[in-house]
Amino acid sequence: MGSEFRQFLLRGNVVDLAVGIVIGAAFGAVVTSLVENLLTPLIAAVVGEPDFSAMTFEVNGSVFGYGAFLNSLFAFLTVAAAVFFFVVKPMNALVSRSRKEPPADPTTKRCPECLSEIPLAARRCAFCAMEVA
C-alpha cells in the first residue's frame, strides 16, 4: 500500500497540480498586494477618500464595508485578466498552431496539355478536348 501511494504521489499530474496551486497562491498574494497598496489608493485619491478599503456605510447599526469588497473585486478582476492574457490566450494560440487540418482529398486534376483543372473522373479535358488518362 505504501508503494502504491508513493507511485501516486510521484506521478507527473499530482506534482504539476501541486506546483500550480503553490504558484497560484503566491500570484494571488502578489495581485492582492498590488490592488490593496497601489490600485486602491490611486482610485481612492481620485474619489477623495484617504483609505479606499475603509469605505463603509451603516444601516440600523450594522456596518457594511463595501470598500473591502471592492478591493476583493479588483483583485479578482486583475487575477482573471492576468490569467486570460498570460495563460489562456497564449495556450489557445499554441493549440491553434499545432492543429493542422488534414489536406482534403483532391476533387480535381490538371490537364497535362493545357494545365486546366478538370474533375478526377473526366476522361477528356473540357478546355482543350485532349484525352486524359
pLDDT at residue 3 in the model:
81
Q: Report if pTM > 0.85.
A: no
CATH superfamily placement of domain 2-98: Large-conductance mechanosensitive channel, MscL; domain 1 (1.10.1200.120)
Residue 111 pairs with which residues in a beta bridge?
none
The string of pLDDT tens digits covering residues 93-130 is 888 887 777 777 788 899 888 888 989 888 888 888 88
Q: Over the chain, what is the mean pLDDT?
A: 82
CB 38 within 8 A of CB 44: no
User: What is the domain partition of the chain in residue ranges?
Assistant: 2-98, 104-133
Q: Report how many helices (DSSP H) and strands (DSSP E) the chain contains, helices first.
A: 5, 4
pLDDT at residue 13 in the model:
76
